Amino acid sequence: MIQDSMMASMAFPLPEDADSALQSGDMALAGQILDGYLKRDIPPALRARLTLEKHFLPQMEACYPLTRDDLVSALQQHIPDFTAGDLLRLLQEGWLDTRMARGQRMYMKDTVDSLLKAHPDIAARAGQPLQKENPQLDDMIRAVKARGHLAMGLSMDISLRVREDCFVPGTAYRVHLPLPRPGISQKNIHVLDAQPTPKHIARESAPQRTAYYEEVLGENRDFTACFSFEQHIRYANAWDGEAAIAYPHAPPPTAEDLGEQAPHILFTPYLKALAMDIKGEEVFPLRIARNIYKWITTHVRYAYQRPYRLIPGGAEYTAINLRGDCGLQALLFITLCRILGIPARWESGLFASPQHVGSHDWAQFYTEACGWLPADCSFGGTAARCGNEERHQFYFGNLDPYRMAANNQYYAPFQPARLHLRNDPYDNQRGEAETLERPLESHEYDTRFTLTAHQLLP
C-alpha cells in the first residue's frame, strides 16, 4: 500500500535508464524498466522511490494532454491572431511547462489559464487585466497601515461531497476537512457545527488540523464543518527595517524551523549558491529575508503547477525553472531563509474575502528584532508585476485579514492518520476522502467554501 510516509523518497534520483525513458516520453518503456528494478533485491529507500514513480506515471501523463496544435487552438479562442511562432517564443522565454510524452512534446493542461494570469503580453492581447481590481483589499491594507492593527471576525462553512457518478452506496467513507488552528494572528476559534458527527476533531495545536468523519453512506450526502475565528493583524514596517515585535506571544522557533525536510525543503548546492548570492554583503537577518522576498517576487513567474506529489523537489524546482504557484514560492522562501540561518515555516489554508474564497499558501519567518512575521510571495509577486508597490511591500511582514490558517507545518500527518496516499501529502486545504480500499482522487469529490460572515471588530 502506498502511504504518505513514502513521499520523502521523492528526493532520491531515478536509475539512469528509467529516467532516460521518462525524459524521452516513452512511458511504456519507463514502466517496464521500473518493474524490472522492483523485481530485484534493492534497498528499501530505492524501492519506495520506484514504487511511487510507477504509481505516478499515468498521473504525470494526464497532466500534459495538450499537443502544440491543441495549445495554439486553445489560445486562439482568446487571441485570434495567435500563431505557432508565438508559442515557440513562449517556449524559448521559459513560459511553458512542457515534457515529452507519447513521442511528441506535450504541454501542461493549465497552460492557457497560467499565461492569461501571469504573462503581460498574452493578457493584454486577450483583453484581460493581469490582476482583477480589488479596491476593498487595498482599502483593508491601508487601514492596517494607518491604524497599526486591525481585528476581523469571520465565519465559514466547508463541505465535501463525493461526486454522484463516483458514489457507491453502502461504502464506508473516511473524510478529513480542514479546520482553523491558532496562529500568530488567528485566535478565538469555535467549531459551530459539523455533519455528520465527526469521529474526531484534532486538537487546536495539531500542525494540520482537521475534523475527521467515518460514515457508511446509504445515500450520498455532504460532510460539513461550520466555524468562526478572528484575525488580529498588527502592522509591521518590515520593508524599511523599522518593525518592532508585532506578535510578542508567538512561541519561539524550534530546530525544525531551521532544518531540511525532504523532498521539498533541501539545502542543495544550487540553492546554497543562490542564497549566498541573494544575501550578498548583508548581515542583518530582517534585510536578508527582505532580499529573499524581493528576489522571489521579481524573478519567479507565477504559474499553475502539476500536483506537488509529482514534483521531486519543490524549492529547487522553483528556483531552477523560475516559475511556481503560491506554495512553491513559499517553499523557496522558507528554504532560502533556513539556509541562511533565519527560522522559517509554512502556513496555509484559505484566502477568504467577500469576492473570492480559495486555497492559498504563504510563509512565516523569525528574527530576534521582530519575532515571527508573515511573508506572502505570491500576493507580493502579483503586486510587483502590476506595479502596485504599496501592496508589494506590504506582504513582506504582513497579511490581510482575509485568511483561514489550517496548517503551520509542511508534510504533517492527520489525526487520525490516513490509510492511503493523500491527493496532497504535504498540505491540506480542500480536504481528503478515502474508502477502506482506496483513496478518492481529487476529481472524485467536490469541496465548497462559503464565507458566511465577516465584520471588523473594535
Say if 189 falls within a structural domain: no
DSSP-assigned beta bridge partners for residue 273: none
Residue 176 — very low, low, confident or very high, per pLDDT cuts 50/70/90? very high
Q: Per-residue pLDDT tens for 149-168?
A: 999 999 999 999 999 999 99
What are the phi and psi torsion angles at 309 (to 5°)? -70, -10
The pLDDT assigned to 242 comes to 82
CA nearest 270: which of 322, 328, 216, 309? 322
Tell me whether residue 18 is in a domain: yes
End-to-end CA distance of the chain: 52
Residue 248 and residue 119 in one domain? no
Q: Per-residue pLDDT for 131 more than 80?
A: no
Mean pLDDT for 100-128 is 95
Q: Is residue 311 part of a domain?
A: yes
DSSP 74-112: HHHTT-TT--HHHHHHHHHTT---EEEETTEEEE-TTHH
CATH number, domain of 314, equals 3.10.620.30
Confirm if 59 and 109 have CB atoms less than 8 A apart.
no
pLDDT value of position 285: 97
Q: Are strands 200-201 and 210-217 parallel, antiparallel or unpaired?
A: antiparallel
Same domain, 107 and 250: no
- The answer to whether residue 218 is domain-embedded is no
The SS3 assignment for 341 reads coil
Would 166 be classed as within a structural domain? no
- My answer on whether 259 and 396 are in the same domain is yes
Q: Are 371 and 386 in contact (CB under 8 A)?
A: no
pTM score above 0.95: yes
Average of per-residue pLDDT across 322-350: 98
The answer to whether residue 175 is domain-embedded is no
Q: Are residues 116 and 36 in the same domain?
A: no
Give the count of domains, the chain: 3
Are the C-beta atoms of 386 and 240 separated by less than 8 Å? no
- For residues 242 and 388, membership in a common domain is answered with yes
Looking at the structure, tell me whether residues 244 and 304 fall in a common domain: yes
454: CB partners within 8 A, 6+ apart = 152, 153, 154, 155, 352, 354, 402
- Tell me if 180 is assigned to some domain: no
Tell me, yes or no, whether 296 and 251 share the same domain.
Answer: yes
Amino acid, single-letter form, for residue 337: C
Residues 55, 78, single domain; the answer is: no
Cα distance between residue 363 and residue 353, in whole Å: 19
pLDDT at 303 over 80: yes
pLDDT given for residue 42 in this prediction: 98
Structural domain including 400 reads: 233-407
Of 407, 426, 442, the residue at which a domain comes to its end is 407
* Assigned domain for 253 exists: yes
Which tens digits make up the pLDDT trace of 62-88?
999 999 999 999 999 999 999 999 999
